[in-house]
Amino acid sequence: MLGTVLVKDWEAVCQEWESEGFPKSAKNPYNVENATITEAEAKKELAAEEEKRLAAGGISIHAVTPVAFVSMTLDLQETQRRLKRVARGLTTLVTARQEGGLTEQRNQLRARVRNWEQLLPLYMPGLLQFQAELRQKGDPLATTAEHPEDMVLWLPSNVPAADRQRVCFANLPDIEESLRTAQCHDALATLRRTLKIKSRLIKFKNKNLRGQREGTRSRAIIDRVHDRARVAAEKYRSARAAKLLLSGPGSWEDELCVLADEDIRGYQDPDHIRKRVGRRGVLEDGQEDNQEDNVAQSQETANFTLFVEERECRDGTGETRRTLSWIWRTPTQLDNPDNTSDDILRSEWSKSRARADRAREEVLLLQEEMRRTLEYLAWKSKWWLQQAQLRRTDDDLSEGLVAYASSQAGLQTALHHRFQKLWEKPLMDGTNNSTERHSNNQTSSNTNNGAQTGSTSGMDNANGASNTGGINEDGEDEDEDEDEDEDEDEDDEDVNEQGDDGVVEDDNGTLYV
């Protein structure tokens, strides 16, 4: 459980960030600072270098720069990995809707790949000749894949070092190497952050939740975090394999090691503990099915298990024999691996708070839309009645105009009454909540010297609008439409009889346009 004082401190940080204008100098509560360069920072530095080169008289061969080309390729590869996970998740009992969704995503990816292929002759001019040589050798890289997620997206890492200079554009391998290094560090940071969050969730579940329903719901949340760790591990392995092809073996391997399944564990998980065998259907992290004893633990699969940080006494967690996973022994984590725990929790809490605020704001906006709709329908009914008196014509035409205007006014009034009945409870709840929030905000502003967040101010504006504009009906409208309240079915028939082109049929069969 998070402490009350800690939550108040985080709330103050979020309010300070939201209340400050741009450019912001306050601490960003949603950001977790990393000691290594991130992928976004690497792209920014490479873009700055490209700008300097062009300013010095360099030539640009296309509007899409080499950095943008490599970034586009990496994004396409990320989409390929996501589609592969989706395809693996579909069972033999897949529905037509699920299969259609996968097909639609594949079509979108195929269209993006076709646009990307138009840039290949510019930045990899020798690729066609290289592919022809591969086809002569029967290399599988030259084959055409059936699905777009299985297609080879060519980058310098796919070309051997001996042929890289004649195939690729100048400096393209260096650009990819920089982005691949940043990808590795980003994926590792995401993996460590996910493991910390998952361990925190498991501790909360074991301490506070009891029962099948609560346990199932909490496991669903933990499983989503588990999937995030799988995605990060898959991204790291792909980026490291490409970096190894670009850089070759070197000292960088001491920091970016090979990521095996047994390396993906929390900071307090020892590596010498045997896995506990659990019953089928109730396996927890740290347990394995007894039918999987023959599987090598070092096998790298997409469905690895994340180990639990807490162990029972019978497991024998001796501190003298514990060995940390290498992901916690990198230079940025070796001194104090828990130094970012509070920052990670603060970031996740701030994001959850922002989502909750957005949900409350959407409710307020919906209530305001309901109120305005009722106001518009009441105004439109009066407007139609006024239109009947604007034109001076003979008696026959005047009677028709009055009949049509009255019919349209009746339709608007019927809709007004129907919506008012449907929305009575939501609008009443919104009025009560807005009054309570308004009083709370006044009290908070007096005690906190008027400090308010930007999102709360937006809500107060919406509340003020809903307080000042209630749902009021004039006595004239009630007198004119008193018969409609007694027989709503007649109004509904009128609504259904009106066509798209505004044609209404009366009881005698006469059409009014």
Per-residue pLDDT of 468-506, as tens digits, reads: 344 343 434 444 444 444 444 444 444 344 444 443 344
Task: Give the model's pLDDT for residue 288.
Answer: 45
Tokens of 272: 């010498």
Mean pLDDT of the chain: 76
Domain boundary residue, one of 186, 217, 244? 244
State the Cα–Cα distance between residues 295 and 86, nearest whole angstrom: 24
Q: Are residues 216 and 351 in the same domain?
A: no
Same domain, 348 and 239: no
* 360 shares a domain with 239: no
- Average pLDDT (192-218) is 85
Q: How confident is the model at residue 106 (pLDDT cuts 50, 70, 90)?
A: very high
Span 340-362, average pLDDT: 81
Instruction: Provide the pLDDT confidence category of residue 438 given band limits of 50, 70 and 90.
Output: low
Helix (H, G, I), strand (E, B) or coil at 222: helix
Beta strands 287-288; 276-277: pairing state:
parallel
Whether 336 has a pLDDT exceeding 70, the answer reads: no
Express each pLDDT in 69-85 by its tens digit: 999 999 999 999 999 99
Q: Supply the pLDDT for residue 488.
A: 43
Q: Distance (Å, rounded) from C-alpha 500 to C-alpha 148?
A: 44
Give pLDDT, residue 4.
81
Average pLDDT over residues 162-166: 91
Please identify which residue in the block is written with the tokens 């990060």. 232
- Return left, alpha or beta for 171; rule: phi > 0 is left, psi -120 to 50 is alpha, else beta: left
The phi, psi pair for 122, rounded to 5°, reads -80, -45
Mean pLDDT lowest among 89-98, 259-268, 337-346, 457-466: 457-466
In a domain, 339, yes or no: no
pTM as predicted: 0.58
> What average pLDDT does the segment 351-361 reach?
89
- Per cent of the chain over pLDDT 90 is 28
Mean pLDDT of 415-429: 89
Q: Are residues 239 and 352 in the same domain?
A: no
Q: Which amino acid is at 186?
A: D
pLDDT digits (tens, 9 = 90+) for 254-305: 888 999 888 888 766 545 444 555 444 444 444 444 443 333 333 445 555 5
Q: Answer whether residue 264 is part of any domain.
A: no
- 198 vs 192: CA distance, rounded Å: 10
Please indicate, yes or no, if residue 173 is contained in any of the structural domains: yes
Same domain, 57 and 194: yes
56 and 166 share a domain?
yes
Residue 319, pLDDT above cutoff 80 = no
Average pLDDT estimate for 59-64: 87
Q: Which of 59-63, 360-364, 397-401 has the highest mean pLDDT?
A: 360-364
State the pLDDT at residue 100.
84
Burial class of residue 323, CB neighbours in 10 A (0-12, 13-18, 19+): exposed
Residue 488 in domain:
yes
- Please give the pLDDT value at position 22: 83
Q: Across residues 3-26, what is the average pLDDT?
A: 85
Domain count, the chain: 2
Task: Examine residue 307 and state whether it is found in any structural domain, yes or no.
Answer: no
pLDDT for 442: 58
Interval 41-48 mean pLDDT: 90
Which residue among 244, 271, 297 closes a domain?
Answer: 244
- Tell me what pLDDT residue 239 has: 94
What is the span of the domain harbouring residue 426? 344-506
Residue from 295, 297, 294, 257 nearest 273 by CA: 297
* Residue 386 structure tokens: 């006024």
Name the amino acid, one letter, at 428: M
Q: What angle do CA 169, 172, 178 make, to 5 degrees?
A: 175
Residue 304 lies in a domain: no
Q: Give the whole-angstrom CA distance, residue 34 versus residue 80.
A: 27
Calculate mean pLDDT across residues 41-64. Answer: 88
Q: What is the pLDDT of residues 117-161, one digit of tens each?
A: 999 999 999 999 999 999 888 887 777 888 999 999 999 999 999
In a domain, 149, yes or no: yes
| Across 175-189, 237-251, 365-379, 425-439, least confident range | 425-439
Task: Assess whether 370 and 229 both reside in one domain.
Answer: no
Query: Domain ends where: 244, 273, 301?
Result: 244
| Structural domain includes residue 11 | no
Mean pLDDT within 421-430: 85
pLDDT given at position 152:
92
